[in-house]
């Protein structure tokens, strides 16, 4: 096996497929290994940890790859060493050659490295063939969905369903929900084509997809009973779906509100961030006190001290209210907002805070209150 390829292209491809490689993979050859399949017309790089698999294809026909296949073959190389070697070699073209069994030479210009590889036959057989319906999505829309929802997922394995974002398409509307039981992010998107599915995709997978997507390109999503595939730019990301029933979160959003506040999003976000350093028992709790003229933001800790700040408001409807919530959750919710003015809706001191944009009703952020603060 031997091929030559552009250093920059190879480096980017390795960085992409390495996102799927885990130090805790159950199969030894997957722990740090990148599978390299060399054929006359292409080189395929694959990384996997059994939950998520990424394959990048470099084609001879694509001139930017500067790919020359000298001899076909397959090998598995340690991703960390391979990436480091590619980074260090001072050459625009890199040659990778298996010289004896799995012993592999990596060279460029006057530099030469030799490392032990692993047999490709020991690498798990990962099926990247897509034989189900494909759904086209715009990168810009998908990136916004991830930005506005994935942070609200749970990181606790005791509730698997909550560790991902639920995507439910019913005709021309796609509803995306993420929650950890104490906060909720809901994003609705109008679809150009009708779609019907109800799946939950792990947060880790979505973050990897977001970092790999190419701007200004559409991509395709394919779904079967246990897996979801993302297909774009000679790349396939295939991941396991979360096999757990997602809860009905629509009932968490109050049907009506007693108070409504309009305030500039940046002003509120900056004020919340200025209070975030004060923590009580390891938690950052902010208290919002609102009347017809101002919004008062405060935090208090017996060990550290207190913080207090007043903000001008645009409009407040309803009777004065005082409510406490997690400063981090409020910060995350405000950062997901894209409009200049944010609306905070209240249904009482013990009911969730519902946050929306002034001119866009497709995004809803919900934060549970903290009692006794």
Domain that holds residue 234: 135-250
User: What percent of the chain lies above the pLDDT cut of 70?
Assistant: 94
Burial of 366 from C-beta contacts in 10 A (0-12 / 13-18 / 19+):
buried
Q: Mean pLDDT, to the nearest integer, of 159-175?
A: 95
Asked if residue 260 and residue 244 are part of one domain, the reply reads: no
Q: Which tokens is 77 given? A: 């190389």
Contacts of residues 100-104 at CB distance under 8 Å and 24 or more positions apart, as own/partner, are: 102/75, 102/76, 104/75, 104/77
Q: Does the CA dihedral 119-230-243-178 come out positive or negative?
A: positive
Residue 206 and residue 237: Cα distance in Å, rounded?
10
> pTM (2 decimals)?
0.88
Q: Where are the alpha helices (DSSP H) in the chain?
A: 7-17, 28-31, 79-88, 139-149, 203-212, 265-275, 327-335
Asked if residue 284 and residue 341 are part of one domain, the reply reads: yes
Residue 216: which pLDDT band, with cuts at 50, 70 and 90? Answer: low
Coil vs helix vs strand at 133: coil
Asked if residue 350 and residue 332 are part of one domain, the reply reads: yes
Asked if residue 262 and residue 179 are part of one domain, the reply reads: no
Asked if residue 308 and residue 234 are part of one domain, the reply reads: no
b/e burial code for range 73-88 (CB count within 10 A of at least 16 → b): bbbbbbbeebbebbee
CATH code, domain carrying 223: 3.10.150.10
Residue 44 and residue 34: Cα distance in Å, rounded?
10
Which domain-ending residue is among 221, 250, 279? Answer: 250
Asked if residue 257 and residue 339 are part of one domain, the reply reads: yes
- 114: enclosing H helix or E strand: strand 111-116
What is the count of structural domains for the chain? 3
The 10s digit of each residue's pLDDT in 73-106 is: 999 999 999 999 999 999 999 999 999 999 999 9
The 10s digit of each residue's pLDDT in 289-308 is: 999 999 999 887 767 777 88
Asked if residue 269 and residue 211 are part of one domain, the reply reads: no
Residue 236 and residue 259: Cα distance in Å, rounded?
47
Q: What is the pLDDT of residue 137?
A: 87
Residue 222: which pLDDT band, with cuts at 50, 70 and 90? Answer: very high
């Amino acid at each position: 096996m031997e091929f030559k390829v552009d250093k920059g292209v190879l480096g980017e491809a390795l960085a992409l497929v390495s996102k799927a490689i885990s130090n805790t993979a159950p199969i030894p050859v997957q722990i740090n290994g990148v599978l390299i399949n060399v054929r006359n017309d292409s080189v395929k790089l694959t990384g996997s940890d059994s939950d998520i698999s990424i394959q990048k294809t470099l084609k001879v026909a694509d001139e930017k790859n500067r790919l020359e296949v000298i001899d076909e073959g397959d090998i598995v190389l340690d991703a960390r060493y391979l990436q480091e070697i590619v980074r260090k070699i001072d050459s625009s073209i890199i040659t990778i050659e298996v010289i004896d069994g799995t012993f592999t030479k990596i060279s460029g210009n006057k530099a030469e490295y030799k490392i032990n590889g692993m047999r490709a036959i020991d690498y798990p057989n990962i099926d990247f063939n897509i034989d189900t319906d494909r759904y086209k999505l715009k990168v810009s829309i998908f990136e916004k969905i991830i930005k506005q929802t994935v942070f609200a997922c749970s990181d606790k394995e005791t509730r698997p369903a909550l560790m991902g974002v639920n995507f439910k398409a019913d005709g021309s509307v796609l509803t995306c929900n993420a929650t950890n039981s104490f906060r909720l992010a809901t994003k609705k998107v109008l679809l150009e084509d009708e779609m019907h599915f109800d799946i939950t995709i792990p947060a880790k997978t979505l973050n990897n997809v977001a970092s790999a997507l190419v701007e200004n390109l559409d991509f395709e999503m394919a779904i079967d009973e246990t897996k979801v595939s993302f297909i774009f730019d000679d790349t396939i990301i295939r991941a396991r779906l979360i096999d757990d029933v997602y809860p009905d979160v629509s009932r968490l959003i109050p049907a009506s509100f007693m108070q409504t506040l309009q305030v500039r999003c940046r002003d509120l976000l900056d004020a919340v961030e200025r209070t975030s350093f004060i923590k009580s028992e390891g938690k950052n709790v902010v208290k919002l006190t609102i009347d017809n003229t101002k919004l008062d933001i405060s935090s208090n800790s017996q060990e550290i001290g207190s913080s207090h700040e007043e903000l001008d408001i645009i409009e407040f409807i309803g009777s004065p209210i005082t409510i406490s919530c997690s400063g981090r959750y409020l910060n995350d919710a405000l950062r997901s907002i894209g409009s200049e003015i944010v609306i905070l809706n209240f249904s009482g001191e013990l009911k969730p805070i519902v946050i929306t944009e002034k001119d866009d009703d497709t995004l809803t952020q919900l934060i549970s209150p903290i009692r006794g603060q």
